[in-house]
Amino acid sequence: MSYDIALLPGDGIGPTVVDAAVPVLDAAAAANDVDVETTRYDWGTQRYFDTGAMMPEDGLDRLASFDAILFGAVGHPDVPDHIPLDGLILPIRKRFDQTVCRRPAVLFDGVRSPLRAYEGGDIDILVFRENTEGEYADVGGREHRGFANEVAVQSAVYTRRSTERIVRAAFEAATERSGHLTNVTKSNAQAHGMVFWDDIVAEVSEEYPDVDVERLLVDAASMDFVRRPDEFDVVVASNLFGDILTDVGAIVTGSMGLAPSANIDPGNDHPSMFEPVHGSAFDIMGEGVANPLATVLSGSLMFDHLGEEAAASALWDVVADQLADENAPRTPDLGGDSTTEAVATDLRGRL
């Protein structure tokens, strides 16, 4: 099969990791009879500086005809953080109905967790994060700027459609995995949206009698991601809570540079988008040492979504193989001193 993939490398380490990962994806595709055509769009903060917009006005229309999107990261030290997000990534997730954000957090063999008790294979969590609404809905306002009575309102939005979609995706995954699902909310303090969310979980759970549902409040869940990460399997959470928990999941499994993610339109009406969990990493940008593995693993999730299982496993397995090899190059986040390029070149050799 042949696929048209849009590349949006973005800012900071985004282009570093995307440019390193794409040849690895190409090699895995070629070895498995998959044909990939990429089109690169340099949309991001540089474009914002030049034109006042992160992407062209018809940017979303241009992306609509692709089979999938591979995204790097956005964010620039001289621009308030909400501008790149609101100008590029959030509109893509929302307009393309990418309700289901799927984020694995796996402790690979050969990777050291900052938690003493765990070694490769011990942690394997799959977080489902609602990705188009919740706390990240663009609903609110500010009044009386600069005055003593200044007020800001930021509302969270939970629709039955999207909540059912994310919850159902999590139950489906739990059915295929261990049958254990953790529902993370804050229903004690947010009695409207989060209790509605719990009601949807209870409704959908009737369709999945074999899945056992554990309930956790997000503060306790954050603690337990550190205290007992090995006991989690599938986790479902709102947009904000899923965002926070997946950074915790990334670091307890070794590095932000290893955490992939899939933003999926469950209706398949629009392209889905695949991206590392991390951002543009101001502290290491321009140094050529960003870990490209999160992006390569995101490529694996992309091929899996496209139905190209052989290419998907090839990518996942080659990353696992490299991490398990103590003589393989590693970027500094994993304790090594290799460059992004050296890691990617080694992966291509292994493929």
Residue with tokens 């990334």: 250
Is 247 marked active-site? yes
CA distances for 89 relative to 82, 95, 149, 208, angstroms? 10, 10, 33, 33
State the binding partner of 243 from Mg ion, ligand NAI, none, CB within 5 to 8 A by kind.
Mg ion
Nearest Cα neighbor of 255 from 336, 351, 170 is 336
User: One of 136, 158, 208, 304 is an active-site residue; which one?
Assistant: 136
CB of 51 closer than 8 Å to CB of 59: no
Decide: is 275 part of the binding site for Mg ion (CB under 5 A).
Answer: no
How many Cβ atoms from other residues are within 10 Å of residue 191's Cβ?
10
CB of 38 closer than 8 Å to CB of 5: yes
Decide: is 9 part of the binding site for ligand NAI (CB under 6 A).
Answer: no
Is 94 marked active-site? no
Decide: is 265 part of the binding site for Mg ion (CB under 5 A).
Answer: no
Q: How many residues does the chain have?
A: 351
Q: How far is the CB of 46 from Mg ion (least distance, A)?
A: 22
Q: Please say which residue, 133 or 243, places its beta carbon nearer to Mg ion.
A: 243
Decide: is 280 part of the binding site for ligand NAI (CB under 6 A).
Answer: yes
Q: How far is the CB of 12 from ligand NAI (least distance, A)?
A: 7
**Residues 134, 154: Cα–Cα separation, whole Å:** 11
Amino acid in position 181 = L
Q: Please say which residue, 243 or 346, places its beta carbon nearer to Mg ion.
A: 243
**Residues 298, 47: Cα–Cα separation, whole Å:** 25
Which residues 213-252 are close enough to bind Mg ion by CB under 5 A?
243
Interface residues with Mg ion (CB under 5 A)?
Answer: 243
The catalytic residues are: 136, 186, 219, 243, 247
Interface residues with ligand NAI (CB under 6 A)?
Answer: 13, 17, 73-75, 81, 89, 256-257, 275, 278-284, 290-291, 294, 331, 333
